Amino acid sequence: MIKAGIIGSTGYAGAELVRLLLQHPQAEIVWYGSRSYVDQKYADIYRNMFDLVDEKCMNDDMDALAQKADVIFTATPQGLCASLVNEKILESSKIVDLSADFRLKNVSIYETWYKRTHEAPQYLPEAVYGLCEINRSKIASARIVANPGCYTTTSILTLYPLVAEGLIDPDTIIIDAKSGTSGAGRGTKLPNLFCEVNESIKPYGVATHRHTPEIEEQLSYAAGMNYMEGESVLINFTPHLVPMNRGILATCYASLRQGVDTAMIQSAYEKYYKEEYFIRLLGEGSFPETRWVEGSNFVDIGYTVDQRTNRVIAAGALDNLVKGAAGQAVQNMNILFGLPENTGLQLVPVFP
């Protein structure tokens, strides 16, 4: 059994990790970290865990945790993981960081978009971006896995084959994304109140959302650009808040390179994803809906080519708490420990 510790287990992503790990046949949770609820019963915070979890919440002493755990999940705000990680911890435990600390290779881009100093830049070179379908071979031997953001997982997976195969002009990419409210976290902030979210949709972080450089970096690699030398795809990314609990939909637009047709788009998707368990290719003209992936680790992708405008419109959908956070984190754990990737993740989507 893999011994897993969670720092930040009472946020929504952390709680989803608990749900998934409880159902994982080869993992057990040894540390329910939650600074806000130390010594309180976990099941008193998340009553869905009544009778299922007896443990109390622990602090975020990562050094102590590393002695008990084979893998540490940090489902915490930016900065915490970078401030705690050290060589001793890494000698005894793997880290899957669900925050943004190790996602961006370029520390100055991190500091520009996140408006904070990076406290452990020395680990950036070795950290592996944990987008499993793209980076699985590197993940297998990593000590630190930077689990991708929810918007980024959706956006990158939807566009990756088209960029990698050179079918679209990457500088025409526009991503209009929509997220359920659990993506905003469990913080008690006015904009997250039921009556503020319900019966409304809004854009936010327009032209400034922090997932933008993360998408740009990965798509730049796909495009074969020398990203660390300053070459980069530049995109527009606009997130929207939707009155639902879970789900992300990314609607992506890009101009086709000359001569590109539907068959080439289809081939590109199949080349990269045909064998992927968690990616479901809906085919041309069939678009994803978040309800069909809820509760599962699937990413559904569909597209159409608009010949009038010579653009492709491609869309991806996933559950932001599963493939967009905890599910992908467990998938990364499976890779790190040599298990089949879908171990404990063969979750049938829950509908309605």
The residues that are catalytic are 150
Q: What angle do CA 77, 236, 109 make, to 5 degrees?
A: 45
In angstroms, rounded to a whole number, what is the distance separating the alpha carbons of residues 325 and 14?
9
How far, in Å, CA of 220 to CA of 234, rounded? 9
Dump strand ranges (E) for 56-137. 71-74, 94-97, 128-129
| SS3 at position 240 | strand
Q: How far is the CB of 253 from its own copies (least distance, A)?
A: 5
C-alpha 275/C-alpha 273 separation (Å) is 5
Q: Are 329 and 98 in contact (CB under 8 A)?
A: yes
Smallest separation, CB 277 to its own copies (Å): 9
Shorter beta-carbon distance to its own copies: residue 67 or 309: 309
Output 187 or 338, the one with its CB closest to its own copies: 187
Three-point CA angle 218, 298, 106, nearest 5°: 15
Which tokens sit at 222? 């796909």
- In degrees, rounded to 5, the angle at the alpha carbon of residue 76 between the alpha carbons of residues 89 and 336 is 50
Q: Which amino acid is at 172?
A: T
Determine the Cα–Cα distance for residues 200 and 158; give it in Å rounded to an integer: 26
Q: Hey, how many other C-beta atoms are within 10 angstroms of the C-beta on 140?
A: 14
